[in-house]
């Protein structure tokens, strides 16, 4: 079956005018201009596999999802390599070396270090306790990043609600607030804001979207408290642990040092200038390589310095990070044409979209809708550059950014909020979403499917909220 699908895809490529005519590619080929929009079909294929196969063929998916991910990667990569040769090799190596490996190393380091921090004590999973944990996570997300806050707090909130039957909504709102919206206030909070910082946006400029972030957070926290109160009243109180109250205490505290090391390494990679080296023909900055080395070091130190009993208390296993690594390997490879077309701007197959974005509301929804499914960092950068070109054509980037952050605040605020907020619309919209889902499922929580998450939670809750935000702020 897989061979047949690949054969159909390759035949389609050969029959499409303008593609079969490519000569062996040279470095001059702009794949963002050359690739048609349907070249992103393998990306759609892997998303549909993640959405549907756990429902249709759950046993097959559980045992073979790494093979499914590899299949879709090959469906795209083999024709891509055949027609674009050196350019294709360069693009694949580039996304692996520059994007995928740092992405997985950061997740691995945070997953490993946070797994060594065990919050012991009496947390009963009441609406008040859960709401406080969500509030703390939302505030922490802008300090230690959405991934760091998610990995630090997901296990305590799972343990405090282990006795409850109705707890899926708690994990969903955790993703909404801690894994996404809470990271909107500093460049440390979410990758697109860090990218803006690297391009000249001042570190604290993102506080301009404090009103939008506070409004969204207060509404979601209030809605969660009401919803959790409703479900809490349906729980059997006899299931609540009746042990003697145990004071809260934290074990594995030295992991906070390693967590600080991770955050410091990320910040260093954006501020230090140590030169460049070539890795398989891909230019990589020395500071990024130093960051990755520090991440590995922090993870290994955590493993060496944390007692096994602490990780056992967290029910720590490697399964969630392995699932993310396998699936996102396929996602990162198949996402190449979508990102390339987006980066091509007016010259690519999505030129109609780029040209139709004019108002702050347009920027909010265009950036957000694409960030729901694509990597939100390059999506942010695409519309960031689009705004610079629209308002300050011909000016050097530094001068144009200086104008944008003072004269066009609503536009940059819309781009920033869209990239951060709407990452919560799907499981793959932001890095920690899928990790939180995997950890919750390993703990026995029956999380909704890909489409179940969207149609039951993100569309009726978040999309409605974002419409309100559009009318109030943009």
Q: What are the structural domain ranges in the chain?
A: 112-235+245-473
C-alpha to C-alpha distances, 474 to 66, 182, 465, nearest whole angstrom: 42, 19, 13
Task: In whole angstroms, give the CA distance from residue 154 to residue 162.
Answer: 12
Task: In whole angstroms, give the CA distance from residue 437 to residue 430.
Answer: 12
Is the confidence at residue 295, as pLDDT, over 80? yes
Sign of CA dihedral 50, 74, 432, 162: positive
What is the per-residue burial (b if ≥16 Cβ within 10 Å, else e) of 326-354? bbbbbbbbbbbbbbbbbbbbeebbbeebb
* Global pTM value: 0.80
Give 1-33 pLDDT, tens digit per residue: 444 444 444 444 433 434 433 444 444 567 878
183-197, 209-223, 374-388, range with greatest mean pLDDT: 209-223
The residue among 46, 44, 124, 80 whose CA lies nearest residue 330 is: 46
Eight-state DSSP code of residue 448: -
pLDDT at 122: 66
pLDDT over 70 percentage in the chain: 91
Eight-state DSSP code of residue 185: S
pLDDT at 70: 94
445 contact partners, CB below 8 Å, separation of at least 6? 158, 167, 168, 171
Give 301-339 pLDDT, tens digit per residue: 999 998 888 888 877 888 888 888 898 899 889 988 887
C-alpha to C-alpha distances, 290 to 192, 362, 413, nearest whole angstrom: 21, 38, 32
Average pLDDT for the chain: 84
């Amino acid at each position: 079956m897989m061979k047949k699908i690949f054969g159909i895809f390759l035949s389609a490529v050969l029959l499409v005018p303008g593609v079969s005519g490519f000569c062996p590619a040279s470095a001059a080929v702009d794949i963002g201009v050359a690739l048609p929009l349907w070249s992103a079909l393998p990306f759609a294929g892997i998303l549909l596999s993640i959405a549907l196969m756990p429902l249709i063929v759950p046993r097959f998916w559980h045992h073979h999802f790494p093979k499914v991910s590899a299949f879709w990667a090959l469906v795209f990569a083999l024709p891509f390599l055949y027609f674009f040769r050196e350019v294709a090799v360069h693009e694949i190596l580039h996304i692996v070396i520059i994007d995928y490996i740092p992405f997985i190393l950061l997740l691995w380091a945070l997953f490993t270090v946070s797994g060594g921090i065990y919050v012991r004590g009496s947390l009963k999973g009441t609406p008040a306790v859960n709401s406080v944990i969500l509030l703390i996570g939302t505030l922490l997300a802008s300090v230690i990043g959405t991934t760091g806050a998610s990995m630090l707090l997901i296990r305590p909130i799972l343990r405090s609600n282990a006795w409850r039957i109705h707890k899926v909504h708690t994990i969903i709102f955790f993703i909404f607030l801690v894994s996404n919206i809470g990271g909107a206030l500093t460049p440390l909070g979410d990758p697109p804001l860090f990218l803006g910082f690297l391009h000249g946006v001042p570190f604290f400029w993102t506080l301009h979207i404090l009103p939008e972030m506070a409004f969204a957070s207060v509404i979601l926290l209030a809605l969660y408290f009401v919803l959790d109160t409703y479900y809490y009243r349906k729980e059997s109180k006899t299931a609540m642990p009746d042990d003697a109250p145990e004071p809260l205490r934290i074990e594995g505290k030295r992991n906070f040092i390693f967590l600080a090391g991770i955050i410091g390494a990320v910040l260093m990679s954006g501020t230090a200038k140590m030169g460049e080296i070539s890795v398989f023909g891909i230019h990589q900055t020395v500071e990024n390589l130093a960051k990755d080395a520090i991440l590995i070091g922090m993870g290994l130190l955590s493993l060496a310095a944390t007692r096994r009993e602490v990780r056992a208390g967290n029910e720590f296993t490697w399964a969630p990070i392995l699932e993310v690594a396998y699936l996102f390997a396929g996602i990162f490879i198949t996402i190449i044409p979508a990102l390339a077309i987006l980066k091509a701007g007016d010259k690519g197959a999505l030129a109609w979209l780029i040209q139709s974005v004019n108002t702050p509301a347009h920027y909010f929804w265009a950036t957000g809708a694409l960030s729901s499914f694509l990597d939100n960092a390059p999506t942010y950068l695409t519309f960031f550059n689009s705004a610079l070109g629209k308002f300050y054509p011909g000016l050097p980037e530094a001068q144009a950014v200086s104008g944008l952050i003072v004269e066009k605040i609503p536009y940059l605020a819309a781009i920033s909020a869209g990239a951060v907020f709407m990452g919560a619309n799907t499981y793959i919209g932001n890095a920690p979403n899928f990790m939180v889902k995997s950890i919750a499922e390993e703990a026995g929580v029956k999380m909704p499917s890909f489409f179940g998450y969207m149609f039951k939670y993100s569309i009726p809750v978040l999309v409605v909220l974002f419409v309100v935000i559009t009318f109030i702020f943009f």
